[in-house]
Every structure is written in C-alpha cells, then in structure tokens.
Amino acid sequence: MLFSVLGPLVISGDDDEEIPVRQLKQRQLLAALALYSAEYLSTESLAGLVWGQELSANPGTVRTQVWALRREPFLASRIARDQRGYRLCVRSGELDADNFSALATAGLRHLAESEIAEAATVLSQALGMWRDPPLADIPETPGMSPIRERLLAERAAAEDAQITAALMLRQHQQVLGVLRERVTREPEREQSWAQLMLALYRCCRRADALDTYTRARKKLATHYGIEPGPQLRRMHELILRDDRALDASSAAEPELL
C-alpha cells in the first residue's frame, strides 16, 4: 500500500490500483493520520487538525468519522486505537513524504561530500515524487499548516541543491527554465536570482544576466522594501568585470552557488 500526500491525497493498493475514499472529512482524517503516523492522536488532536475551530461540539463526531474509516476493508487492520487515541500503521516505504525526505537527505549529503553526479541523480528522484503542493485537494486548517510548510521547505531545499548540482555539472542551459519559474513563483529567493544570472552568463548571455539583476533589485524593493543581499550583489559585480570565478571550471564555483 502507498499513501501519497505530495499532491492530492491518493491511496494505492498493492496492485497499484487507487483505493477511493470519497468523504471529505474522512480524507482529511486519513491525511492527518498518515502524516502523523509515528504517534497516537487523541480525539482532541484530530479535531484540531481536521476541523480547526469548526468543531466545538462533542468528540463523538471524530469517533464517528474514524469508525467509518475503519469500516473500509483496506484500513480495518491499519487504524489502531488505545487509551492515547488513534494511529495509522504505515510501514516503511509506504508514505511518499517519508520516501522523499530520505532521498532528499541523501542527495544533500552527496552534494556536501562533492559527489555531484550522485547528488543530481538522487535529488531528481526525490523531486520526481511531487505531483502538486502537499494535500492539494484537502482544505487547509491551522493544525495542518505547519506540516505542509515543512514539506514545502524541504522541497525548496532539494530544488536549490538540484540546481546547484546541475550548474556544477555544466548543465546551465538545462536549468534556465526551472530558474525562471522559481524567481517568478518566489521572487524573494535571492539565491535563485543569483543562480539564474550565473546560468545566463555561462550561456554567453551577459546582457540578460545583468538585466536579471536589475529585475531582481526592482522586485525586492517593490514587494519587500529591501536591497539585494551579499550573494546577489557579488554575482552582479563578478559579471560586470567578467571575473574568472564565473567560469564553469573555476575552483571558486561552489562559493558562487
């Protein structure tokens, strides 16, 4: 069985066939139980995660919905209950978020140890697990927001590392589209602006690289009221003087990225 949360919630059986859970509240409960499968969740905790402020009545509502979930044949033996509350029994390798985190951690380790090709391969596998924002079809609640934000932060870190590895492997042409999309989606990410400038410069597009700095500076000033930070300013200065540190074969390359 596979519980997929890196996108819309999907539960797949051992034959890879999707197992339908159509009731929204039951889907929300299942998502909460899957993401917190390492612990037992009390009815109060589940109420906060799924209903937020909406549920002010008795905890019987939670128990009724969990009971309905436990009637599903594929979940009957998976949802454990004791005095602490409820827990979804998720085996190793069955939650895509855990699989992603393990691969992303391995990729970051490869990069730190200068195993660049290995890092690129593993990070690509990790990011390939994402289909959409986490639990894209599940309504947001204050209780679930922190874990969604953690997963998005882990994805952003993996994307940063994957782009760094690609640039170190001289794949500057291949990352241009990804970097353009990133600075459009998250204009506050100065590292992405700096990486885009470097990729453009290495594609013999010096003027475009300098124009990118101008756009980044304007975006940061207009939307956040700040000036470019040290990394972005340094990249601009290096490009202005065609510094050898920008060459793909430079020993200073890791410091740029």
CA distance 159 to 151: 12
Average pLDDT (146-168) is: 94
Mean pLDDT, residues 114-134:
96
Asked whether residue 55 carries a pLDDT value surpassing 80, the answer given is: no
CA dihedral for 229, 234, 240, 245, sign (positive or negative): negative
- pLDDT for residue 121 is more than 80: yes
* Termini Cα distance of the chain: 39
CB 18 within 8 A of CB 11: yes
pLDDT band at 254 (very low <50, low <70, confident <90, very high): low
Q: Quick one: pLDDT band at residue 140, thresholds 50, 70, 90?
A: confident
d(CA 54, CA 204): 57
Domains detected in the chain? 2-88 (1.10.10.10), 170-257 (1.25.40.10)
Q: Is the pLDDT at 179 greater than 90, yes or no?
A: yes
Q: What b/e readout covers 169-202, taking b as 16+ CB neighbours within 10 angstroms?
A: eebbeebbebbeebbeeebebbbbbbbbbbbbbb
Give the pLDDT of residue 41.
93
Question: How many beta carbons lie within 10 A of that of residue 218, not counting itself?
Answer: 11
Q: Which residue has the higher pLDDT, 141 or 4?
A: 4
pLDDT in tens, 195-204: 999 999 999 9
What is residue 18's predicted lDDT score, i.e. its pLDDT? Answer: 87
**DSSP 3-state assignment of 146?**
helix
Q: What is the pLDDT of residues 208-230, one digit of tens each?
A: 999 999 999 999 999 999 999 99
Dihedral sign, CA of 161, 163, 165, 167? negative
- CB-CB neighbours of 43 under 10 Å: 17
